[in-house]
Amino acid sequence: MAHTIIDGKAIAASVTAVIATEVAALRKQDIQPGLAVILVGEDPASQVYVNTKVKTCERLGIYSEKHILSKNSSTEDVLILVKKLNLDPKIHGILVQSPPPPQVDEEAVIAAIDPAKDVDCFHAVNVGKMLIGKTDGFFPCTPYGVMELLKQSGIDPAGKHAVVLGRSNIVGKPMAALLMQKTPGANATVTVVHSRTPDIAKFTRQADILITALGKPEFITADMVKEGAVVIDVGINRVKDVSAPRGYRLTGDVKFDEVAPKTSFITKVPGGVGPMTIAMLMRNTLKACKMKYRL
């Protein structure tokens, strides 16, 4: 059947255009949203992610700070910086690039972030608010981005069976929570499958909306997908490819060329969910600033 590729880059651009306009209006009032990003260590992939976030801030007129700590930093070193940023009036959002080195207690770091500045929505206060349907906190950036993709593509989850592959705290669990909320743009019936689920395909074949966040390259094949399903691929995996300039290529959890003809809508990797994650981080940072000033 004919399928539509959901263009995450285009939708992210529409989101950030609105943010840029709102930021410009705030700056006329001498108010500027600010985001601080903390990176522990010098992991090349993490540096790329951090630099992308900083450049996006610059493009949108958001003040940004990049703090790079030694790979040997302790939990206490990170906590000292977080506490300093909690008190900094220029900073409205704090993000600690995940995962930190093993000697850093990530849970302790997350708990130390002021919930009003927790623009990644990892703090228990914001996770709890999201779960019970409160909107005065933040939503996790990747699941929030998926909800925006569905909204702007005219896909209403209400009454649909949504199947989420993966149960991580970053994607799977919050994705299920957002889809099942009693609110416009949600109201789906949600099934979560994971590594201990027997016969995963039994559930994926029932999905009107299939959202994959497994981290397994091309795990989803055509025989696992219902005709006419919406497929959102959150996975991003490096696969060795000697023909590629860098020796690898990026692929999602879905075998795209095989699955796409069976779908009504589908995202690609890269260019689907990825751009939305950063766009929603910027939206959360703007929201944090507006909440501080009660705007």
Q: Which of 114, 118, 120, 233 is catalytic?
A: 120
Q: Which two tokens stand for residue 229?
A: 């399903």
Torsion of CA 72, 76, 81, 86, to 10 degrees: 150
Which of 53, 173, 226, 287 is labelled catalytic? 53
How far is it, in rounded angstroms, from Cα 229 to Cα 219? 16
268 counts as catalytic: no
d(CA 177, CA 171) in angstroms, rounded, equals 10
Angle at 121 between CA 165 and CA 15, to 5 degrees: 85
Bridge-based pairing state of the strands 237-240 and 248-251: antiparallel
Does the active-site annotation cover 53?
A: yes
d(CA 19, CA 223): 41
The verdict on whether 7 is a catalytic residue reads no
Burial class (CB in 10 A: 0-12, 13-18, 19+), 70: exposed
Rg (CA), the chain: 19
> Of 97, 117, 208, 233, which is the active-site residue?
97
Q: Which residues are catalytic?
A: 53, 97, 120
